[in-house]
Amino acid sequence: MKRHSTKLAVYLLSLFLACGSAVATDVEFYSLSSTVTDSSKIQMTEDLFFTQLLSLHQYKIVDKRPTGYLGTPANASQDTMVFYGELQENGSSWTCTLHLEQPHLNKKAQVTGTYDSYFKLLSEAKSSISQLFANLEAPTTATTTSYKQKDSAGAPTFDSLSGTWIGEASINKIVLLRGGRGFVIFNNGASMNISVEIQGHTIICTQTAKSNASFFPELPREVALVAAMNAQPITWTMTLSNNGTMTGTKRSLLAVVDSGTAVGAEMGTTEVTWIRQQ
């Protein structure tokens, strides 16, 4: 019995050491090249791709931004991967090409997607990355996949929506609760209670807190103070994609500009994207 116990202990120890010696492959993440003039959209796209890569726990993601990929990975390891891409706006449509390479192994893959809106591009981030890694593992040394946007996910539930979301420049986070409630935390420290309603595939989040100027940080303070007194509740109308991203519109106060100066505010609609925080 003692001999068997010793053999078992040696076996388990060797197994532990073998597992402990496994090192995750580096994936170097380089900035997107783009002719898009809206730098905030480039930043949001890069941040979303980076977040999705971080969810691939079998890899070690190395952030190389704002550097563009110049053809040589920083890590000299043979299995090091590099991730980079191009983002283009063509009128109302968007094209994004993602590249994944292992230069020392002469392996390359890419996927190209064309979308009828910027927010459709964001909603397909997870699936395009999954396809990219699958392509690299294909038996050929260079693989290209082209695809079009996919349909949205099934009908959402309060359970599937619950959690913390990010995505708007003036908002630190949005927290959705299972009971059809939630709250929004702005970067300026303000907090807004919201209700959450599900109508088929549509998610409607509506301000329930009393309006105040802090809910409209995009407006000049003096304009927001006056406009908030009679403002209608802020409303988000969203749909949930199959990768944990919500896209849709936000109805809120927008500045009325005269000769380059904000002279008032009125209700208007803007496109928004919420991304589930990992």
Residue 29 pLDDT exceeds 70: yes
pLDDT of residue 62: 93
pLDDT of residue 7: 53
User: Residue 117 has what DSSP assignment?
Assistant: S
CB within 8 A of 69, min separation 6: which ones?
28, 30, 82, 84, 99
pLDDT of residue 138: 66
pLDDT of residue 21: 44
- pLDDT tens-place string over residues 211-252: 999 999 989 999 999 999 999 999 999 998 766 788 889 999
CB within 8 A of 2, min separation 6: which ones?
none
C-beta atoms surrounding 255 within 10 Å:
19
Rounded to an integer, the average pLDDT of 90-101 is 88
Q: How many DSSP H helices and E strands does the chain contain? A: 6, 15
- pLDDT tens-place string over residues 111-152: 888 888 887 788 788 888 888 888 887 654 445 555 554 444
| Whole-number percent of the chain with pLDDT over 90 | 33
pLDDT of residue 216: 94
- pLDDT tens-place string over residues 59-83: 899 999 988 888 888 887 888 999 9
Q: Are 62 and 27 in contact (CB under 8 A)?
A: yes
Residue 99 pLDDT exceeds 90: yes
Find the range with the poorest average confidence among 12-16, 177-181, 261-265. Answer: 12-16
Find the range with the poorest average confidence among 17-21, 84-88, 102-106. Answer: 17-21
Residue 10 pLDDT exceeds 70: no
Give the per-residue SS3 of 234-273.
CEEEEEECCCCEEEEEEEEEEEEEECCEEEEEEEEEEEEE
pLDDT of residue 140: 45
DSSP H helices, 86-238, are 118-123, 125-136, 158-161, 221-227
Q: Are 54 and 24 in contact (CB under 8 A)?
A: no
DSSP H helices, 85-212, are 118-123, 125-136, 158-161
Q: Are 93 and 116 in contact (CB under 8 A)?
A: yes
Q: Are 30 and 83 in contact (CB under 8 A)?
A: yes
The residue ranking higher by pLDDT, 119 or 189, is 189
- Integer CA distances (angstroms), 162 to 73, 157, 237, in order: 39, 9, 16
